[in-house]
Chain A
Amino acid sequence: MKFSWLSLRSITALLMVILSMVVVLVSWDIYRELAYERQRQGLAESLHKENINAIENLTEVSRDVALNTQYSKLFREVFGRGNSTEIQQIIDDQFNQYVVTADVLKLVQFYVYDKHFHLLSQASKGPQIEQASQAICSSLVEQARLRSGAERLKIISELCRSGDRPYLAVIVPIGGLRPIGFLQIVTDPVHNLQTIEDKLGMPIQLHLPEGELVYQSANWNTNSEENFLMGNYMLETTNGTHALKFNVMHDVTQFRATLSEARNQVMAAAGSAALVVVLLAIFVLEQTTLRPLQRLTEQLRRVGKDRKQLGEAVRVKGNSEVRALASVFNEMGSELSRLYDRYEEMAYIDSLTGLPNRRFFQDHLLKMLVQSTQQKQPFAILLLDLDGFKEINDTLGHHVGDIFLSHVGKLLHQSLKEIGAISFEHLNTVPSMIETELNVNETMIARLGGDEFAILLPALKEQGDAIDAAKCIAHALEPAVDIEGQSIVVAGSVGIAIFPEHGVDAETLMRKADIALYAAKDINADFAVYDPTYDQNSLKQLTLKAELGTAISEGQLLLHYQPKLHLNAGCINSVEALVRWQHPERGLILPEQFLNIAEQRGLISALTEWVLKEALLQHKLWQERGINLTVAVNLSPRALYDLNLPERIQLLLNELELPPDSLQLEITEDATMVDPERALHILHLLDEMGILLAIDDFGTGYSSLGYLKRLPVDEIKIDKTFVIEMTESKDDTKIVHATVDLAHNLGLKVVAEGVENESTLASLKALGCDYAQGYYINQPVVADQLESWLLKTGWQCDISPVSASKKTKARLFCNIR
């Protein structure tokens, strides 16, 4: 990591250096071209200047030659005589003289004109013409001829082209202030222009505009052109046409070498500068940004390893952005730290009661086990479960339930403090226990969930201490609690397990406290200390719990049927189906022992379905054999609240092609009390379907007659507790009597349960009760036995309820009565 980072920096620096050098190289090329261009321009300018000088010089020399020629006495005499041959002789002499001194100028021609520019004579060695208009640079002659006044005295010159070559012509007056004629001198400028090579110190080439080479320096070198820079210049005639092209060769070897050297120096300087700048930039970047970021990253790593580092602030130096980042980072860290503490607290503390939760309790228990084992100090676990708390939640709402639980938490704390088991003042001090070291002498109260509380009683001297605590708790729970105007009474059961007597590990101790708790509930006691004999029972419960699911699917359940005697008709036309579990090992188990389990495991629905189907199948079977027996099925409270129940029953009836009144459903009074509106809704649905409904165990619940009136039931079953004692207790007889009358007045049938002797049966008949059910008539038996019993007793009714509708049936019964 470090290596790659280092190499990354090196690569960056190297790239920057290379880049800067490339930039120099590229810009240098441009610069070199510019320099060359400037050199070329310079050369052209020099050429221009030298050309002008040379031409001016030649003009002056030509002028002086011409003026001196015309000034000579001899010339004047001859000219005065007007003899052109003589004149020619003189100018030929001049010509010869100047050919000898050709360094100064190279004469081409002399023309001698009279004052009207008529050609008088010309040098015999130059190109010959007939008249002035044919002269070399004839335009100059024409220009001179057209002059007047003082202008005619002026010396005029012209660079012109004749044929394809350039010439310089100068015209001077003959005769000074009073001109008598004119002399035109024509020279070859090429001769003089050649001297430019000496002036510039460079080889030159002179071309005619058409390209013909007219002069080339001896040292003109065409082979090593790369070391030379070519400059050129076009000499123009006075009229502006091209006269001569100049090329000049400038030796740039030295210049080139200097340029290369300078370039290398600049490149080296640029590379070094770039390197320094990059290194400096990296250094600054590292100091202001990278190092602080690294520190933040390190802090994150530390936090990853150790959560406690989370709130620790990181101090960084660097630029403002990085400092701002660090500040936000630190803020976030401390905020997260606070949140983390809070979550930790939430993870260990039950928010409702402020007591430690199950997790905290178990952690504490483990620590306690370690310390208690070392110190050989016994301690006790007390598990408290509230009886009937579920009903508070269901009937008064969770809000009240929550307040009640919170109250229980305080009660526990208070009661344990009273017996000196708790030293700390407030429940609120509990969270601090998360962080502090465990105090083995401190009692802990925890809420394990729902209505289950646990107490850890440390430093136990004897078992009696734990029992005292349990008693104290039970005592504390006794008084009614007023919550939002509702007076609530809830009893609690406490299970006690003691270390090391009942177990030396957390799991065993908790399990045994649980077993003790259920034992206490079973025997309806306030508390129970674990006893090995409880194990069997609790184990049985646990096994049953596990086996119930398979019992339904594997057909271990069966139905027993108890007949209901129609008192007026004196025959049996309906039976109550009662579910039994034929356990392969434990034999027949009654519903009281497994209905709770079914509820706990959520198997009520499946169980109800099975019972309904089985009962209706049996009904159909009997029907096919000519036995008409309505089947009554007990509906558990939970099944009653199943909104799908009516539909499922309808499906079953459809499946078996049975009318609805083949089935009677029995519900207890209390079953409708949890959510009366919902129960009423479902009962109405069932009633509308035509299913017969009965209230079971009537007289044991709290329902009022007013409420009963609202229920769409057809029948009430008086609880057996009233019926059994009837013959001996006048009160019970009165109750039964009143109930029968009342029911009849409401249009309901009455069934008396628990008929165990003949006199009771007779009394019931006398009171006008409609049906009797009980051991005296027959105990619940399997279908086959019931069939044979019916045949034996001959109590089978002739009236078939199958064919009659619900209403007519009621009428029929009335008629019978």
Chain B
Amino acid sequence: MKKRIIVACGGAVATSTVAANKIVELCKKEGIDVEIVQCRVSEISANLQNVSLIVTTARVSKDYGIPLENGMAFVSGIGMEAASQRILAHLR
């Protein structure tokens, strides 16, 4: 079954695009079927239906009741491997 992942940043243009691309590549390599919902942080609450994971490049303190991971590692390149493993652990 396709897993839906929200990838959000401030304006849904720059950092979330970088992170979303990396996540798609990663999941393709691991054979996990994913669908990305890219949006602004202020739009996360409106997109929560059937979502398995939220990845944000912002530091979000709010609890949405769905696992949330920080995706800044995909933008900075620092700790990318660890972040990939954490995200995969949620999807498997």
A binds B: no
